[in-house]
Structure 1
Amino acid sequence: MKMKWSALNKGILISFVISALATAPRFIRLNKDDLQYLFNHFMYLFVLTLMYWILSQAFVYKKKKVILYTAIFLLLSGLISIFYQLILEAFFGDFRILYSDFPLIRDLNEKKQLLMLFFRGILFSAIIYFIVFYLNLLYEKQHALTEIEQLKKEKLEAQLDSLKQQISPHFLFNSLSTLRTMVTDESSKVYINKLSNVYRYLLSLSDSNLTSLKEELDFIESYLHIVKERFEEAIEVSVNISAEALQLQVPPLVLQLLIENAIKHNVISFEDPLKIEIFDKEKMLFVRNNYQPKSSVEKSTGKGLQNIKKRYEYLSEQEIEIAVKDDYFTVKLPLL
């Protein structure tokens, strides 16, 4: 929610209103000679309440030890009330009259007058503290409601996108199944079968944030069969994964994104084949390829790697590592 006023303007307005309300009762016995007194009284309280508001900004937003911080705020406010009065009296002798019309104050000794100033500070600061605390609650509530509405909107958009994406794959998947029964060539049947496996896996991920590494590698095996039909021996992929790592999880399609990224940005030829290694070490999954960037390639948007980074931040708060060293491009993915 965009704030129309700055925080300082809020403090000035709150201090103005409280000072005006505290000064208002003195209009009942107003005469011409009291106008200057009323103005001085208002300014006296305005500066004091504004100081309380500024002090409240250091305490009211604390989420822990709220009672302790509130008590410290009120104690400091009482002391500020005393020192504020004493400083003004030292420079302006007439300022003593600004609190002399409090009931019975003329009958109190100096110690009790200071005590009254202390409790007056607590009273005024408590009002300021409550107002700031209440306004902060309203802001947080409005902010939370805005975030909830935004999440609902994003969820609805994601559901619509998912529905759109599922209509075409289901049709294609059924068509591939029919096509497989029609062809007689064995290599074509294998290709169609691998393509069907790819789409079957994609359809199974509609609401999945994580998948086992074993399932991801099974999908990659079918995906690589399709890729190799295009590049043949110009691309080599080796997979060396421990049995323990197969039971761990990764965000779905991360391996496909990294392989696709390597194919997009590197030279692939029979003379200089693209070599991709997939292996694990200490609960980390490594995807490494020999770094032979194309001399001319469309400018990378970085969306693939950025997508993987955000998914890991969302799912585990762990970060992926990307490095280019010794003619190798390496991405390290935490196994979850």
Structure 2
Amino acid sequence: MTTLTLSGYISENKVSHFLSEMLPLILLTSSTAVFGYYFAVVKLNKILPWKKHMFLRGLVDFAMVLAVTSILMSFMHSMYDSGNLFSRMMAFKEQNLPIEGMFALPLVENILFIVAIETIELVSEKNELELNLERVEKTQLQTKYSALKNQLDNHFLFNNLSVLSSLIYEDIEKSDQFIQEFAKVYRYVLTISEEMLVPVEQELEFIDAYLFLLKIRFEEGFQVKNDLDESLFAQSIPPLSLQVLIENAIKHNRISKKSPLQIHIYEENNNIVVANNYQPRDTPETASTHTGLKNLEEKYKLISDKIPLFGIQGDQYIAELPLINQ
């Protein structure tokens, strides 16, 4: 309305009369256009993001504006031709103004609508990215702290130092290897504590050292079968993911020579699957905080649209870690 008045297409003395008659229609069409543009922009940001499809996205936005404007222009043209209240108030003949100019005004206004909405969405997306960055940094710190705590807590140290103490008197060569693998575990935790993703190959090298310590400790009560193929080594997972799942299995299942804990690691549907026979303890080895699996889920939410899955299937507990292509 302001544009039409300033451009001379509606006389100032007719504005109040025009508003009283046409305001509901103006509000309805404008609000419908704005909401339509908003939902279209939100949808297009997912299907055709500006960063990946800038040229095509620009064409789609312009085509959308032309389509909406054409509909509005056709509506205005029909009203003008029908000689109704709207057209009678335009006063084109009195002012000798071109009708085409009036039809061009909605195009300008619709362009302004879409530019405003795209700007708002851009600012919103930027704020969301900054918020996610803060969450990532916070999670990295939590991961570092949790990893160090899990590996360096008194319980872990006591168990492994006790094993080492026994080995020194029984097998010098094995005790030396135990120390080397023990050092690998700590070195890995310290070097990857700032990473959000690591190659599968790197994670498996760490797990081999970690499993060596567990096999020495539990002997025949702990059995692991790794069927992961080398073709998966270049893909990635969050660091310490496999360690969390193995530790979770140890905490919640019985481990003995008569009832060995059997862990099977393999790939299925582009997921790393860690399965163990389900034989729950009457009392967990250590008090569970129920945060390990939740932390894994949170890591995946921050870096991927894939999520890990955990649950009991028959007589097994199954955990699935989606592989991520960096």
Give TM-score, length-normalised by structure 1: 0.64
Structure 2 counterpart of 1:331, one-letter code? A
Residues 137-187 of structure 1 deviation map (CA, whole Å, 9 limit, x = unaligned): 3312432442354355446546766887899999xxxxx9xxx9xx96536
In structure 1, the residue matched to 2:317 is 329
**Superposition RMSD on alpha carbons, in Å?**
4.6
Higher relative contact order (CA 8 A, sep 6+): 2
| Mapped pair 1:73 → 2:68 | yes
1-structure distance, mates of 2:226, 2:219: 18
In structure 2, the residue matched to 1:120 is 102
Structure number, greater radius of gyration: 1
In structure 2, the residue matched to 1:138 is 119
Q: Which moved more, 1:143-152 or 1:157-166?
A: 157-166
Cα distance change of structure 1 residues 161 and 300 upon mapping to structure 2, 3 Å threshold: closer
- Identity, % of aligned positions: 24
| Residue 43 (structure 1) aligned to one of 20, 28, 35 | 20
2-structure distance, mates of 1:164, 1:310: 15
| Mapped pair 1:251 → 2:238 | yes
- Please state whether the residue corresponding to 1:104 is helix, strand or coil: helix
In structure 1, the residue matched to 2:190 is 203
2-structure distance, mates of 1:321, 1:294: 22
Q: How does 1:127-276 map to 2 (within 5 A)?
A: 127-151=108-132, 153-154=134-135, 157=138, 185=169, 186=172, 189-228=176-215, 230-246=217-233, 248-276=235-263
1-structure distance, mates of 2:223, 2:144: 36
Cα displacement (A) at 1:49: 2.8
In structure 2, the residue matched to 1:12 is none
1-structure distance, mates of 2:210, 2:10: 82
**Number of residue pairs matched?**
290
Q: How does 1:21-100 map to 2 (within 5 A)?
A: 26=11, 39-57=16-34, 58-59=36-37, 61-62=40-41, 63=44, 64=57, 65-84=60-79, 89=84, 95=85, 98-99=88-89
Give TM-score, length-normalised by structure 2: 0.66
Residues 277-315 of structure 1 deviation map (CA, whole Å, 9 limit, x = unaligned): 223467653321111234566997764334444545665
Cα distance change of structure 1 residues 212 and 120 upon mapping to structure 2, 3 Å threshold: closer
Cα displacement (A) at 1:198: 0.5
Structure 2 counterpart of 1:70, one-letter code? V
In structure 2, the residue matched to 1:104 is 94
